[in-house]
Chain A
Amino acid sequence: VQLVESGGGLVQPGRSLRLSCAASGFTFDDFAMHWVRQAPGKGLEWVSRISWNSGSVDYADSVKGRFTISRDNAKNSLYLQMNSLRPEDTALYYCAKDLEGVAGTGGDYYYYYAMDVWGHGTTVSVSS
């Protein structure tokens, strides 16, 4: 099971960049996928999630209207189109596989949500 991100680089403020994430070792179109980023020396920030069939997409407020998540299940690939980039978007961008379901026994059931497989990330630097 592997996720490999690519497409990062140095870009000027206001420009665009498209990140890719190649998945292998699991049935890609069975799972939702996430993008998570980490600014230098900072904590993790969730960016976006897309459902298995692209029918549902969600974004953090910090990127809504500027970033677009998409996927191509035929190519086992996840994408993040980043427009109107800002210096504060500088970060290591990870893609992650969604893990969610129901667990429990004897009528005591509960939902769980997590991200169980992560790539190594691709670095985006926004600077003039």
Chain B
Amino acid sequence: SSELTQDPAVSVALGQTVRITCQGDSLRTYYASWYQQRPGQAPLLVIYGRNNRPSGIPDRFSGSSSGSTASLTITGAQAEDEADYYCNSRDSSGNIYVFGTGTKVTVL
């Protein structure tokens, strides 16, 4: 099955911009979705498709994709954005789903 690889951790200064990447062969076929998970909470969908935000998600979150890499960008990071972020896509076979390894974002 496919794998989705993310950097384990990144840090960003308050108000600055951070990009989180997700790499995997399945991303050449399927767009990634992105999930925020704060400690002790369930995951929250923040980006899906080409660059779609569910209702209530701030516009500082954006998504992009190129080749086998998907990216989630937080422009003007806030303290409440400190969380784990996971990408997800369908497997290359199209039958199963796979989550990325996760990135811990620290806001300094």
Contact = CB atoms under 8 A, between A and B. Distances in A.
Q: Is the interface of A mostly helix, strand, loop or mixed?
A: strand
Interface in A82-104: 94, 96, 99, 103-104
Interface residues of B, number: 28
A49 B54 CA distance: 21
Interface in B63-108: 84, 86, 88-90, 95-102
B61 interface: no
Q: Size band of the A side of the interface?
A: 20 to 34
Contacts of A45: 99
A44 B90 contact: no
B89 A113 contact: yes
Contact of A121 (B42, B48, B49, B52): B42
A49 B97 contact: yes
Contacts of B95: 58
A7 to B, nearest CB: 17
Interface in A1-59: 34, 36, 43-46, 49, 58-59
Interface of B: 1, 30-31, 33, 35, 37, 42-45, 48-50, 52, 54, 84, 86, 88-90, 95-102
16 contacts: A43-B86, A43-B101, A44-B35, A44-B102, A46-B88, A46-B97, A46-B98, A58-B95, A103-B52, A110-B31, A112-B33, A112-B49, A113-B90, A113-B97, A115-B33, A118-B44
